[in-house]
């Protein structure tokens, strides 16, 4: 009985234990199932969020991880002179980059790099720390070849892979300072900043291309093939490098001789308007423009205005002759040596008795010129000054050209007509004066000056061709011929420009000696002058026209002494270079010693 009782009790105990275990198992299963259901629910909700709500953002992030945009920079177009000599080209150079995210010891790397790339260690360190999470930054771009070799050696010795070199192109001007004020220069990204580089930047720079580059999880490129950016177009100038060199050499010598502040000279084809040379001193090297002050880089030929002085008397003479107000042999009484207009006395440098109209220009008589100006009157005189282009831009294809200063007649004072008759109270650029003289030289047509003759594609096709452009007729051919004959006498015995005489070819031109305004007092300075000579050769069939302006010479001031000899030397060398034949072995005029 006892055995059976124990068995029964054990059996009941086992059954109760089994029931308890089943209840626990069910509870555990419910808990686990609940957890699993909630987990799956969270996953489903997250998937919905990723696939529906946040799809665009995630797709964009994935896109940037396996696709990168690579910029292809084009080769900038070349610039050639009129004889296809290189004036601006491109060189392949290295640029130094760093991967800040891979740099472990910023201080160490900064200290090591500093003496090589000539940037302070603090500056390098600051740049690296500021971009610590970046995968690419520039440290120094377009370095010289010597520095590049040092960096290659540095990487090899120290085994540093967090910096590297990338090949880029750098603008290079093989002629140094020659034609620098025409060419201009570019910035570090090869964008034009001055001169032709700026004016024609749209044609020269080519087209930047951006391409998609796919890569794997390790950042290795998966793209195949090779693509190039579209190269820039090439430009052919009207400038002749040899003539440009001659002009620059001679004005540099003049500045040194006369200890002048600056000088400008421009040579132009008077028939076509092509600029053959345009030079300014001080010079600068466009390969290193930042080493020079802005004053050196300014193209004074088109940006600086000055009072032209007696070179302006040719404009007065042209207007008076065109209006039929004077005859070339008409005499003017200048015996008093001065003339009073509006309460102000205008004097001659040298006293004369009577002078013909021709002699008034030849000897540059201020008294005679004022008498002619009074006869012409302010309205007509203003009209002719405007016809010749004063007060307006010439339209040359260079940036920075100014209009000059020419006030309307209603704003003139009682002395203005007299002042304008001798080239005062007007602000002109050297190019404006030269362009006006070219109109006299070519028979009365005002031409638009230009420095680019053709734009050529990388394949050699002519994209754009520039041709002579007549702005307007300013005087008749007959008047132009008469003025040319008068200007020939300026280099004869008794003329103010005898030092501009050239053996074998007749010169037509005019001297100018203009007082400059003192910026401190606002009055004409007694020791600051702009000395000039402008003319064309051969006088009867001009091939070239040239203006020379020397600013603030010391020791002499007259244009016939300071500028005329520079004109002669430039023209003599240029005529020889261009193989222009002499008209005769000796000119038919009698000249005094030069």
Q: What is the percentage of the chain residues whose pLDDT exceeds 70?
A: 85
State residue 588's pLDDT score: 42
User: Does 310 qualify as catalytic in the annotation?
Assistant: yes
Average pLDDT, the chain: 87
Q: How confident is the model at residue 11 (pLDDT cuts 50, 70, 90)?
A: low
C-beta of residue 528 within 8 angstroms of C-beta of residue 516: yes
> Which residues neighbour 38 within 8 Å (Cβ) at sequence distance 6 or greater?
none
| Residue 444, Ramachandran bin (φ over 0: left; ψ between -120 and 50: alpha; else beta) | left
- Six-digit token string for 24: 């626990």
Q: Is the pLDDT of residue 19 over 60?
A: yes
- Six-digit token string for 274: 């092509």
Top mean pLDDT of 90-99, 465-474, 487-496 is at: 465-474
State residue 108's pLDDT score: 79
Comparing 93 with 286, the larger pLDDT belongs to: 286
Comparing 569 with 111, the larger pLDDT belongs to: 569
- Six-digit token string for 321: 């002759």
Instruction: Determine the average pLDDT of the residues in 120-145.
Output: 80
Instruction: Determine the average pLDDT of the residues in 309-313.
Output: 96
pLDDT in tens, 325-349: 999 999 999 999 999 998 899 999 8
pLDDT in tens, 209-234: 555 555 555 555 445 444 556 789 99
Q: Is the pLDDT of residue 502 over 50?
A: yes
pLDDT in tens, 358-395: 999 999 999 999 999 999 999 999 999 999 999 999 99
Instruction: Round to whole Å and give the CA distance between 297 and 236.
Output: 22
State the pTM of this model: 0.82
Instruction: Determine the average pLDDT of the residues in 566-592.
Output: 77
Active-site residue identified among 95, 110, 272, 310: 310
C-beta of residue 360 within 8 angstroms of C-beta of residue 369: yes
Instruction: Round to whole Å and give the CA distance between 562 and 499.
Output: 9
Q: Which of 109-113, 227-231, 270-274, 351-355 comes out lowest in average pLDDT?
A: 227-231
Of residues 513, 504, 501, 508, the one with CA closest to residue 593: 501
State residue 506's pLDDT score: 94
3-state secondary structure of 222: coil
What are the φ and ψ backbone dihedral angles of 188, each rounded to 5 degrees? -65, -25
Instruction: Round to whole Å and give the CA distance between 313 and 422.
Output: 6
CA angle 553/554/557 to nearest 5° reads 60
State residue 546's pLDDT score: 98
Q: Is the pLDDT of residue 69 over 60?
A: no
What are the φ and ψ backbone dihedral angles of 338, each rounded to 5 degrees? -155, 165
pLDDT in tens, 158-206: 677 778 887 778 899 999 999 999 999 999 888 999 999 999 999 999 7
Instruction: Determine the average pLDDT of the residues in 17-45.
Output: 72
pLDDT in tens, 397-444: 999 999 999 999 999 999 999 999 999 999 999 999 999 999 999 999
Q: Is the pLDDT of residue 463 over 90?
A: yes
Q: How many CB atoms lie within 10 A of CB 27?
A: 10
């Amino acid at each position: 009985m006892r055995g059976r009782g124990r068995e029964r009790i054990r059996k009941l105990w086992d059954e109760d234990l089994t029931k308890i275990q089943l209840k626990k198992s069910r509870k555990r299963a419910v808990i686990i199932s609940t957890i699993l259901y909630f987990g799956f629910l969270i996953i489903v909700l997250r998937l919905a969020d990723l696939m529906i709500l946040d799809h665009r953002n995630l797709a964009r992030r994935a896109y940037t991880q396996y696709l990168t945009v690579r910029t292809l920079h084009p080769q900038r177009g070349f610039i050639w002179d009129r004889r296809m000599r290189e004036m601006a080209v491109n060189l392949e150079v290295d640029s130094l980059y760093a991967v800040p995210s891979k740099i472990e010891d910023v201080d160490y790397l900064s200290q090591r790099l500093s003496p090589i790339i000539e940037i302070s260690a603090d500056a390098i360190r600051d740049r690296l720390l500021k971009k610590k999470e970046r995968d690419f930054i520039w440290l120094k771009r377009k370095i010289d070849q010597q520095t590049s070799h040092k960096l290659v050696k540095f990487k090899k010795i120290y085994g540093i892979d967090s910096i590297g070199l990338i090949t880029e192109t750098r603008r290079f001007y093989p002629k140094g300072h020659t034609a620098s004020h025409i060419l201009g220069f570019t910035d570090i990204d090869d964008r034009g900043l001055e001169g032709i580089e700026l004016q024609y930047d749209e044609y020269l720079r080519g087209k930047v291309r951006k391409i998609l580059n796919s890569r794997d999880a390790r950042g290795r490129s998966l793209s195949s093939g090779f693509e190039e950016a579209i190269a820039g177009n090439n430009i052919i100038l009207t400038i002749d490098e040899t003539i440009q060199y001659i002009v620059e050499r001679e004005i540099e010598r003049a500045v040194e001789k006369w200890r002048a502040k600056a000088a400008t000279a421009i040579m132009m084809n008077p028939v076509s308007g092509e600029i053959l040379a345009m030079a300014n001193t001080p010079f600068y090297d466009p390969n290193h423009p930042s080493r020079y002050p802005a004053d050196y880089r300014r193209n004074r030929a088109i940006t600086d205005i000055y009072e032209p002085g007696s070179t302006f008397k040719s404009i007065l003479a042209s207007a008076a002759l065109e209006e039929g107000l004077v005859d070339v042999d008409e005499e003017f009484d200048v015996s008093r040596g001065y003339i009073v207009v509006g309460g102000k006395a205008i004097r001659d440098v040298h006293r004369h008795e009577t002078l013909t109209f021709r002699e008034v220009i030849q000897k540059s008589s201020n008294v005679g010129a004022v008498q002619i100006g009074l006869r012409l009157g302010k309205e007509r005189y203003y009209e002719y000054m405007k016809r010749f282009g004063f007060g307006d831009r010439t339209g040359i294809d260079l940036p920075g050209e100014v209009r000059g200063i020419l006030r309307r007649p209603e704003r003139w004072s009682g002395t203005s007509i007299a002042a304008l008759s001798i080239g005062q109270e007007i602000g002109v650029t050297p190019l404006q004066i030269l362009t006006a003289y070219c109109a006299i030289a070519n028979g009365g047509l005002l031409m638009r000056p230009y420095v680019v003759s053709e734009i050529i594609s990388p394949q050699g096709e002519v994209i754009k061709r520039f041709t002579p452009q007549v702005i307007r007729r300013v005087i008749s051919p007959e008047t132009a011929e008469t003025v040319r004959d008068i200007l020939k006498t300026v280099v004869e015995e008794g003329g103010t420009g005898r030092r501009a005489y050239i053996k074998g070819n007749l010169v037509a031109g005019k001297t100018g000696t203009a007082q400059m305004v003192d910026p401190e007092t606002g009055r004409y300075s007694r020791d600051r002058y702009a000395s000039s000579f402008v003319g064309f050769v051969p006088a009867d069939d001009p091939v070239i026209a040239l203006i020379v302006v020397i600013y603030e010479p010391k020791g002499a001031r007259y244009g016939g002494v300071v500028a005329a000899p520079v004109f002669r030397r430039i023209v003599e060398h240029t005529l020889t270079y261009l193989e222009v034949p002499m008209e005769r072995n000796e000119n038919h005029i009698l000249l005094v010693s030069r």
